[in-house]
Structure 1
Amino acid sequence: MRLKDQFRFVRQNMKKNRTRLFMTILATAMSVAFLIVLASVGFGLHKSIVKETLERRVVTEIEVPGKEDSQNGYKQLDEKDVAFFETIKDVKSVTRRKNLQDYQFEIGEHQTNARAVVADMPSETKAGLELSEGHLPKSANEVLVGYHFVEALRPEVETEDIYNENGQIKEEYQYKGELIGKKIIMNVIKFEKGEEIKEKLEVTIAGIRKKPTKEWVYDNVVFVSDGVLKQVEEFTGTPRGMMKDPNNPDMELPAIAADHFDEVKIYAKDMEAVKDITVKLEENNYPSHSVINELKDVNVMFTIVKAGLIFIGTIAIIIASIGIYNTMTMAVTERAPDIGIMKAIGANPKTIKRIFLLESSYIGLIGASIGTLVAYVISMIVNFGLPIIIKQAFGEEPPEGLIFSHIPYTLPIISFIICYLVTILSGLRPAQRATKVDVLQALRREV
């Protein structure tokens, strides 16, 4: 019998008991839809977390906390380390910062507290630093302030009345003047014999950093020069202007060399270069952390979750396969005369077996196709309706851009493969039974 005739014979037989066939296909479709929808939750949450991770971190940024030393443990990075980083292939920029204390800055009758940082401006510019106003510092007494610096300025006489219900400074109390070119006072404090001594350093605002692209980022940092750092250290007599405990003036502070940095970040030319740079750093005993490390951990965790969800969904398909087994067993019983005739005219047992396997495959593939379409519809309904339900029922606003259900093209393919294998196994036993039907008994309509 030709393959074309086998397919036609299968289609004709499937039409003989449409109700039973419909229920079997329906059960298969429901199980496939369940598998896809269940697994799509894992894929959706995975995609959401990866998206949030990429948005919160610069994808080409690599943090290097120090260097591993077999004798002294971690060692702070210095100019030699930075010079080595800059020689690595595909490195775009290496930023290095020295962190000072939080200081009080005064401008006119307004003031605010902000962290002071010494940074290398050329490398910061290469890494993507942009200004909304002004220019980069050109002299030792010029500083660069964060975008939210002006919003944080408050009147010197601070009362609860100056803040609104959101904890922000009311508009009438906000600083209204220009910042560029304005001289501000940086108050540096030290303690001597239990008394607070204050030094007022005058600096000029040269520029304001560009507004952060992320709404949750609050930029109130003040970039100062090495010259300002030197003045601070000369006044306080401590590295980085660290303050001693007034109750313990003899306490020893950690020694920090002038060329040591508190924060070093490497920026690759593109995301593909991050992995190679990270490998190069590890080879030279430089531990690092980048968005690639975060994504690696996230991917491993969600791979396990998705595999578990697919396994649970597979159980539903296995349960549905019981219906396929029952349907095929009934088909063999009902078609015993047809099988007898086929064997009487010389049909090969392999051909008979193939016909019943084709029929079970038909059931599985039709059910998988219908189930996949239903799963896509359910996925769209869930993504649209679930945020509304959460908001109305619980009064909570879901995170913006959260994806509850995502169906990649690989998921339906996996579902089709699982469904096809299960249906073949379900039809295998009835198909083998069909090849063993006795011709004489079949022609007498007895099995």
Structure 2
Amino acid sequence: MKTQDLIKLSTRMFKARASRTLLTILGMGIGIGAILFLVALGYGLQRTLLKALTTSESLLTVDVLPDKEAGLHITPERLNEFSGMEEVAEVSPAVDLPAKVKFGELTSDAVAVFVRPSFLKLGGMKTLGGELLGGNNEQGIVISSALAKVFDQEPSEIIGKTFIFSLSPPEESEEEEEGKIISIDTPFEIIGVVESGDTLFYAQDSSISQLLTFSEYSQVKVKCRSSSNVNQVKSQLSSAGFLVSALSEKVEEINKLFKIINFILALFGIVALSVSAVGMFNTMTVTLLERIQEIGIMKAVGASSRDIFWVFITESTVMGFFGGLSGIVLGIVVGKIFNLGINFIAARFGGQSVELFYFPPWFVLLVLIFAVTVGFATGIIPARRASIIDPLKALQYK
């Protein structure tokens, strides 16, 4: 049988049994749409979470802490050793000091974190308002959302305002031995606010370099040259006795968790698809019973059992294909509508808009292939039965 004849015979169902065929395709579409909707929700939540937690630089960064109980400190000499590692592109240290902050008439205890401008970027920090440290503004500071809340200020309101602070110097400094407190009388301008539950602020270490020199650091962020170097750098620093961690570890854990979540969501969709597949099998079986005489005539005029088999297989595969297409459209449209509804509600309550659904092109293609495969598999038994029908009995069938 010629290919064009096969296609013509296989698509007659859209004219001869239009309602039944369209309902079968719709049923398949609902099952496919359910899979796409649920799994896209999982991918969307995963993508939103990772986007909020990470940046390209933070995924290359290893956090290093001293092990003070073992007498292991991060000194400038150690910092130079880190910088000299072949796999390391950059190091960015930080020093934490107790501080008292005065904002207008209000005073609060806080932690002052003196860093290089790159520290916040390597940590993957993002502002709720304003900008991160950088540029020539040494008197600019970035505060936590918790500190802004202490002063009863919204992130957008506190940007551009100033405060002064005093520091308790490190234990090893002469000032600490004399029991002195270092007062910083120069006002520092708040240029940004980051999300944090701790009352702290970040300032450039160069802003107090004339008042304090640091003989050791509280922590260091080590940026690797590539993602393939992260585990190697972690291993080397851990072997040296330092406490190390990396955001990439959390990302791996999140990805593993969402693989399980996506699998469970896909199972719910497959249940709906199974019902649709049973409906398609029923449609093909009824079609077989209705076309027994037609099969007898086709065999009488020369059609082989193989030709009959492929007519039925092609019919079910075509229905699977169009069921997959309709399911993809249905899943994407419903997902977009659902997302618009959630964002509308979020906007009403002052929240931020998010993309809850993500449809990876490879997954959309995989869903379509899966739908075609289900259609093909559903038609095998009816096609097999049709191909072995005796033409004489078929012509006598009523």
Answer whether TM exceeds 0.5 for this pair.
yes
Aligned equivalents of 1:267 and 1:397: distance in 2? Answer: 36
Q: 1:429 to 1:73 in 2, by over 3 A?
A: farther
Percent identity at matched positions? 20
2:238 to 285, 291, 300: 285
**Structure-2 residue corresponding to 1:159:** none
Q: 1:12 to 1:75 in 2, by over 3 A?
A: same
Q: Does 1:103 align with 2:87?
A: no
- 2:224/2:233 contact within 8 Å kept: no
2:88 to 91, 103, 121: 91
Matched to 1:37, the amino acid is F
Matched to 1:220, the amino acid is F
Q: Does 1:168 align with 2:152?
A: yes
In the TM superposition, residue 61 of structure 1 has moved relative to its aligned partner by 3.3
Larger relative helix fraction:
2
Q: Does 1:368 align with 2:368?
A: no
Unmatched 5+ stretches in structure 2? 123-131, 172-177
Matched to 1:366, the amino acid is F
Q: 1:426 to 1:74 in 2, by over 3 A?
A: farther
Q: Does 1:263 align with 2:219?
A: yes
Aligned equivalents of 1:360 and 1:14: distance in 2? Answer: 12
Deviations 1:2-58 (A, max 9, x none): 122111111224421222112211211111112211222111211111111126984
In the TM superposition, residue 64 of structure 1 has moved relative to its aligned partner by 1.7
**Structure-2 residue corresponding to 1:139:** none
Q: Does 1:344 align with 2:296?
A: no
Aligned equivalents of 1:106 and 1:83: distance in 2? Answer: 36
In the TM superposition, residue 430 of structure 1 has moved relative to its aligned partner by 0.6
**Structure-2 residue corresponding to 1:161:** none
Matched to 1:46, the amino acid is Q
Matched to 1:26, the amino acid is L
Q: Which moved more, 1:14-23 or 1:429-438?
A: 14-23
- 2:143/2:192 contact within 8 Å kept: no
Q: Does 1:387 align with 2:362?
A: no
Q: Does 1:39 align with 2:39?
A: yes
Deviations 1:304-358 (A, max 9, x none): 1112211221121111111111111111111112212232334332221111000
> Per the alignment, in what secondary structure is the counterpart of residue 288 of structure 1?
strand
Q: 1:124 to 1:214 in 2, by over 3 A?
A: closer
- 2:133/2:140 contact within 8 Å kept: no
Q: 1:425 to 1:413 in 2, by over 3 A?
A: same
Q: 1:375 to 1:148 in 2, by over 3 A?
A: closer
Aligned equivalents of 1:417 and 1:177: distance in 2? Answer: 58
> Per the alignment, in what secondary structure is the counterpart of residue 191 of structure 2?
coil
> Per the alignment, in what secondary structure is the counterpart of residue 279 of structure 1?
helix
Structure possessing the higher radius of gyration over alpha carbons: 1
Q: 1:77 to 1:441 in 2, by over 3 A?
A: same
Deviations 1:198-235 (A, max 9, x none): 63545564x957723747697634647688568xxxxx
Q: 1:74 to 1:32 in 2, by over 3 A?
A: farther
- 2:96/2:218 contact within 8 Å kept: yes
> Per the alignment, in what secondary structure is the counterpart of residue 146 of structure 1?
strand
Matches within 5 A, 1:92-241: 92-100=89-97, 102-104=98-100, 113-117=109-113, 129-131=133-135, 133=137, 135=138, 146-147=141-142, 167-168=151-152, 186=167, 199-201=180-182, 205=186, 208=188, 211-212=191-192, 214=194, 220-221=201-202, 223=205
In the TM superposition, residue 185 of structure 1 has moved relative to its aligned partner by 5.9
Q: Which moved more, 1:430-439 or 1:207-216?
A: 207-216
Aligned equivalents of 2:216 and 2:358: distance in 1? Answer: 47
Aligned equivalents of 2:109 and 2:181: distance in 1? Answer: 14
- 2:143/2:194 contact within 8 Å kept: no
> Per the alignment, in what secondary structure is the counterpart of residue 261 of structure 1?
coil
> Per the alignment, in what secondary structure is the counterpart of residue 302 of structure 1?
helix
Q: Does 1:313 align with 2:269?
A: yes
Matched to 2:180, the amino acid is E
Q: 1:8 to 1:114 in 2, by over 3 A?
A: same
Aligned equivalents of 1:81 and 1:368: distance in 2? Answer: 59
> Per the alignment, in what secondary structure is the counterpart of residue 92 of structure 1?
strand
**Structure-2 residue corresponding to 1:420:** 372
In the TM superposition, residue 90 of structure 1 has moved relative to its aligned partner by 5.5
1:333 to 289, 292, 313: 289
**Structure-2 residue corresponding to 1:2:** 2
Aligned equivalents of 1:126 and 1:337: distance in 2? Answer: 74
Q: Does 1:276 align with 2:229?
A: yes
- 2:103/2:151 contact within 8 Å kept: no
**Structure-1 residue corresponding to 2:48:** 48
Matched to 1:168, the amino acid is D
Aligned equivalents of 2:92 and 2:238: distance in 1? Answer: 19
With normalisation by structure 1, the TM-score equals 0.69
Q: Which moved more, 1:81-90 or 1:315-324?
A: 81-90
Q: 1:445 to 1:14 in 2, by over 3 A?
A: farther
In the TM superposition, residue 83 of structure 1 has moved relative to its aligned partner by 2.6
**Structure-1 residue corresponding to 2:357:** 405
Matched to 2:218, the amino acid is D
In the TM superposition, residue 75 of structure 1 has moved relative to its aligned partner by 4.1
Q: 1:376 to 1:126 in 2, by over 3 A?
A: closer
Q: 1:226 to 1:64 in 2, by over 3 A?
A: same
In the TM superposition, residue 444 of structure 1 has moved relative to its aligned partner by 1.5
With normalisation by structure 2, the TM-score equals 0.77
Matched to 2:338, the amino acid is V
Aligned equivalents of 1:108 and 1:24: distance in 2? Answer: 71
Aligned equivalents of 1:103 and 1:213: distance in 2? Answer: 18
Matches within 5 A, 1:427-442: 427-442=379-394
Give the total of aligned pairs. Answer: 371
> Per the alignment, in what secondary structure is the counterpart of residue 201 of structure 2?
coil
RMSD: 4.2
Aligned equivalents of 2:18 and 2:121: distance in 1? Answer: 70
> Per the alignment, in what secondary structure is the counterpart of residue 91 of structure 2?
strand
